[in-house]
């Protein structure tokens, strides 16, 4: 009887996902607060959607609409908490692990998944770029793995030594449409990750190109683009109905391309790309090490030699657009993390004899050791380690919320930084479209700061929350309106992230 029958993989993937995300995602029930800023932005917009607000028009943010509607669904599942996000994370990561299993099965026996799945999942969820969970990239990982599996399986089945030698084969027309839909979903989550699907489309079309099947080439291109259009139509209908198409396209496309990106020359962009990959390697040594091992050790049989080329081409095509815009944040690299799978496969292939001998020697004890090792490594390597055991009252979000909610019908402004979770903790709605300070230079979007200054000058919010780096001495940062109309009444700190938070109250209603 096989240890890991196919029908058990689903349960295995689900339980593994639930366990890892419980301790590696701050969205889980173990943690009373998600203290990262992007995640709170997503949930604030998701909550706004549930309450009838329209993204971009009523709440200005820069990620894609599909991501916000996922968070709206999460808010509907569990209002006032991240638990709904945690449940969606488990679902998405379970699907991702199923495709890890499918890719592994192309090169290893099915029973190898008992080792491949936890090793790959650990590398992803404990990496620095995972950043305590609920990043846009996380929801695209299963989509990437599904498309990666399809293109690998195609060339694996064709068994050619060069792309030209595969011209007799043809990717099914339905695959172009399906993965066009997948690419469209990624487009409306975060478009900088589309490089992978551009490579997928080119690789899938190569047999038609080399065989000079012109009609098939154009029809398959059209099917792929039609799939992307299917993913786009709902957003055209939604934003068109609300009269917000221009708001949507400006905030999501124009601001990201022309306001958010840096102005660099070609050499500067190449230098930035190389530097960003180097930084990713420093902060994610195990993850990048596994990807490097995959590049060196992943060796399919000669008949499937194209599988390795497909892996390298899609990896390069995915990575370049992530950093070519001139910006870099730790979580950018998360979408590359699934390629660590090939390092795990390569290592298992290289040391299969030793692994088999170990299994034969220790029998079922080997699986107990695997489970205990997964448990220990998860707890020790998780990004959430500094937050283990923290109670609700230990977070400045809830310390300030207790003060803010003491005043009936009070209002607040998150000023000078991205949404820190203070709106959610105090159960307050934003007062303005620009509900927080996004990472767009002030000179490129002056109305964002202007709207905040107007609110402070007119004394509209009862409370204002701002922050500084922990070692910085907080002082007037060029906003006299804050000090003219407000008084500092409380301070809090987030030591793991090295931030101090400050709560101001309007002078006319100061309770102290």
pLDDT tens for each residue of 461-473: 999 999 998 777 6
Query: In which domain, by residue range, is 418 found?
Result: 392-509
SS (H, E, C) 91-140: HHHHHHHHHHHHHHHCCCCHHHHHHHHHHHHHHHHCCHHHCCCCCHHHHH
What is the per-residue pLDDT across 228-268, written as a single tens digit (0 to 9) for each? 999 999 999 999 999 999 999 999 999 999 987 777 788 88
Tell me which of 385, 410, 444 is where a domain ends.
385
374 with 441, same domain? no
Does residue 296 fall inside a structural domain?
Answer: no
Q: What percent of the chain has pLDDT over 70?
A: 94
Interhelix angle 173-187/214-241, rounded to 10 degrees, is 30
- Rounded to whole angstroms, the Cα distance separating 393 from 478 reads 32
214 with 232, same domain? yes
Tell me which of 385, 407, 438 is where a domain ends.
385
Residue with more model confidence, 458 or 470: 458
18 with 100, same domain? yes
Give Cα separations from 324 to 84, 141, 307, 332, 496 (angstroms).
34, 21, 26, 12, 30
Does residue 306 fall inside a structural domain?
Answer: no
398 with 379, same domain? no
**Per-residue pLDDT, 1:** 40
Q: Kindly tell me if the per-residue pLDDT of 510 is higher than 50.
A: no
Q: Kindly tell me if the per-residue pLDDT of 174 is higher than 90.
A: yes
Per-residue pLDDT band for 477 (boundaries 50, 70, 90) equals low
H or E segment at 413?
strand 412-414
233 with 131, same domain? yes
162 with 201, same domain? yes
- Rounded to whole angstroms, the Cα distance separating 174 from 226 reads 11
What is the per-residue pLDDT across 246-257, written as a single tens digit (0 to 9) for each? 999 999 999 999
What is the per-residue pLDDT across 319-364, written as a single tens digit (0 to 9) for each? 999 998 888 899 999 999 999 999 999 998 888 767 766 665 666 6
Per-residue buried b or exposed e for 383-395, using 16+ beta carbons within 10 Å of the residue's own CB: bbeebeebeeeeb
Least confident segment among 4-18, 200-214, 275-289:
4-18
Residues 32 and 395: beta-carbon distance below 8 Å: yes
256 with 399, same domain? no
**Per-residue pLDDT, 138:** 98
Give Cα separations from 354 to 289, 359, 360 (angstroms).
21, 9, 10
CA 429 to chain centre: 25
The string of DSSP letters for 273-327 reads HHHHHHHHHHH-HHHHHHHHHHHHH----GGGTHHHHHHHHHHHHHHHHHHTTS-
Does residue 312 fall inside a structural domain?
Answer: no
Does residue 158 fall inside a structural domain?
Answer: yes
Q: What percent of the chain has pLDDT over 90?
A: 78
168-174's contacts with Cβ under 8 Å and 24+ in sequence apart are: 168/207, 168/211, 169/207, 170/207, 170/208, 170/213, 170/216, 171/204, 171/205, 171/207, 171/220, 173/219, 173/220, 173/223
Q: Output DSSP code: residue 405.
A: T
**Per-residue pLDDT, 492:** 95
373 with 247, same domain? yes
Tell me which of 331, 365, 385 is where a domain ends.
385
16 with 138, same domain? yes
29 with 107, same domain? yes
Give Cα separations from 461 to 27, 180, 261, 380, 508 (angstroms).
28, 46, 32, 42, 12
| CA proximity to 307, closest of 199, 145, 179, 149 | 149
Does residue 157 fall inside a structural domain?
Answer: yes
Does residue 62 fall inside a structural domain?
Answer: no
Q: Kindly tell me if the per-residue pLDDT of 59 is higher than 60.
A: yes
Q: Kindly tell me if the per-residue pLDDT of 302 is higher than 80.
A: no
Beta-sheet pairing, 463-469 with 499-506: antiparallel
**Per-residue pLDDT, 267:** 85
Least confident segment among 7-11, 348-352, 445-449, 482-486:
348-352
**Per-residue pLDDT, 357:** 63
**Per-residue pLDDT, 353:** 66
SS3 percent helix, strand, coil of the chain, rounded to 5, is 65, 5, 30
Give Cα separations from 424 to 39, 80, 369, 464 (angstroms).
11, 7, 41, 14
Per-residue pLDDT band for 210 (boundaries 50, 70, 90) equals very high
Provide the edge-to-edge strand list for the sheet that holds 486-494: 412-414, 463-469, 499-506, 486-494
The count of domains in the chain is 2
H or E segment at 19?
helix 6-24
Q: Kindly tell me if the per-residue pLDDT of 390 is higher than 50.
A: yes
Does residue 303 fall inside a structural domain?
Answer: no
Least confident segment among 32-36, 122-126, 374-378, 458-462:
374-378
Does residue 319 fall inside a structural domain?
Answer: no
Q: Kindly tell me if the per-residue pLDDT of 303 is higher than 70.
A: no
The model carries a pTM of 0.94
Per-residue pLDDT band for 202 (boundaries 50, 70, 90) equals very high
373 with 408, same domain? no
Residues 472 and 380: beta-carbon distance below 8 Å: no
**Per-residue pLDDT, 509:** 52
Beta-sheet pairing, 486-494 with 412-414: unpaired
399 with 255, same domain? no
């Amino acid at each position: 009887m096989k240890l890991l029958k196919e029908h058990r993989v689903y349960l295995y993937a689900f339980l593994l996902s639930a366990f890892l995300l419980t301790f590696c995602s701050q969205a889980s029930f173990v943690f009373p607060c998600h203290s990262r800023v992007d995640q709170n932005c997503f949930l604030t917009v998701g909550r706004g959607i549930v309450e009838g607000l329209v993204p971009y028009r009523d709440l200005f943010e820069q990620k894609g609409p599909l991501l916000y509607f996922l968070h709206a669904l999460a808010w509907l599942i569990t209002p006032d908490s991240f638990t709904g996000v945690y449940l969606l994370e488990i679902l998405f990561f379970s699907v991702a692990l199923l495709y890890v299993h499918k890719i592994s099965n192309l090169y290893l026996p099915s029973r190898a998944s008992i080792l491949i799945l936890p090793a790959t999942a650990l590398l992803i969820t404990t990496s620095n770029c995972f950043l305590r969970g609920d990043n846009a990239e996380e929801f695209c990982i299963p989509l990437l793995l599904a498309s990666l599996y399809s293109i690998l399986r195609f060339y694996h089945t064709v068994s050619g030594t060069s792309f030209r030698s595969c011209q007799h084969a043809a990717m099914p027309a339905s695959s172009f449409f399906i993965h066009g839909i997948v690419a469209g979903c990624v487009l409306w989550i975060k478009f900088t990750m589309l490089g992978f699907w551009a490579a997928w489309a080119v690789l899938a079309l190569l047999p038609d190109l080399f065989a000079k099947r012109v009609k098939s080439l154009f029809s398959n291109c059209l099917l792929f683009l039609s799939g992307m259009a299917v993913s786009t139509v709902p957003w055209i209908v939604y934003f068109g109905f609300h009269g917000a198409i221009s708001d949507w396209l400006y905030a999501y496309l124009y601001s990201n391309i022309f306001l958010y990106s840096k102005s660099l020359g070609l050499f500067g962009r190449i230098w930035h790309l190389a530097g960003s990959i180097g930084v990713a390697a420093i902060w994610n040594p195990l993850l990048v090490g596994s990807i490097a091992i995959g590049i060196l050790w992943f060796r399919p049989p000669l008949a499937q030699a194209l599988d390795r080329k497909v892996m390298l081409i899609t990896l390069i095509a995915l990575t370049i657009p992530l950093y070519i815009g001139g910006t870099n944040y730790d979580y950018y690299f998360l979408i590359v993390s699934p390629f660590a799978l090939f390092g795990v496969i390569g290592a298992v292939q290289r040391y299969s004899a030793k692994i088999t001998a170990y299994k034969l020697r220790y029998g079922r004890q080997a699986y107990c050791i695997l489970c205990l090792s997964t448990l220990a490594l998860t707890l020790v390597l998780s990004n959430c380690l500094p937050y283990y055991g923290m109670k609700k009252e230990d977070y400045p979000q809830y310390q300030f919320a207790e003060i803010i909610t003491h005043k009936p019908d009070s209002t607040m402004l998150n000023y000078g930084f991205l949404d820190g979770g203070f709106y959610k903790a105090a159960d307050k709605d934003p007062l303005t479209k620009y509900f927080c300070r996004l990472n767009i230079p002030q000179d490129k979007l002056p109305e964002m700061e202007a709207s905040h200054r107007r609110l402070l000058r007119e004394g509209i919010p009862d409370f204002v929350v701002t922050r500084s780096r922990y070692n910085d001495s907080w002082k007037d940062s060029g906003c006299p309106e804050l000090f003219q109309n407000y008084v500092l009444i409380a301070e809090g700190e987030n030591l793991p992230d090295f931030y101090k938070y400050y709560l101001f109250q309007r002078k006319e209603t100061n309770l102290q």
